[in-house]
Amino acid sequence: MSPTLIAYSFLAGAILFEVIGTTFLVKSEEFTKVGPTLATVVLYAFSFYFLTKSLRGIPLGIAYAMWGGVGIVLTALIGLLVFKQSIDMPAVIGIGLIVTGVVVLNLFSSSVG
């Protein structure tokens, strides 16, 4: 398997752990519930570990932009679908711009492996 594919696999794992951790963050009710609080801490630790592993093949700025951007989109979708939170048009436009930025990074930047 290529080092770039491995790096992107670690980045995907980092994003997944971060999004699940953020979901438990809501369930922790401001860190007043022990189980969801511990889940948040553990999942964030895994996320950062996987993010650091991805840096072997992806530059820091690119990895962090993708980690944050994709995480924002997925977290917004979970908020909308799971927690029934509303999202207005300016938020949709902003999230669309984030997605556009991630796509531009991956398709046109020579910084991406």
Residue 88 belongs to some domain of the structure: yes
CA–CA dist 90, 25 (Å, integer): 25
Q: Quick check: is 78 in a domain?
A: yes
SS3 at position 36: helix
The answer to whether residue 28 is domain-embedded is: yes
Structure-token pair, residue 47: 């996320």
| Confidence (pLDDT) at 102 | 87
CA 62 to CA 54: how far, in whole Å? 11
Question: What pLDDT does 111 receive?
Answer: 77
Across the chain, which has 113 residues, the per-10-residue mean pLDDT values are 94 98 96 98 98 95 92 95 95 94 86 69
Q: How far apart are CA 81 and CA 46, in angstroms?
A: 25
The verdict on residue 8 lying in a domain is yes
Give the residue numbers spanning the domain of 83.
3-108
Cβ–Cβ < 8 Å for 69, 99: yes
- Contact of 63 with 54, CB cutoff 8 Å: yes
Residue 38 lies in a domain: yes
- Residue 113 belongs to some domain of the structure: no
Domain count, the chain: 1
> Residue 9 and residue 83: Cα distance in Å, rounded?
28
Per-residue pLDDT, 113: 60
Q: Are the C-beta atoms of residues 65 and 111 closer than 8 Å to each other?
A: no
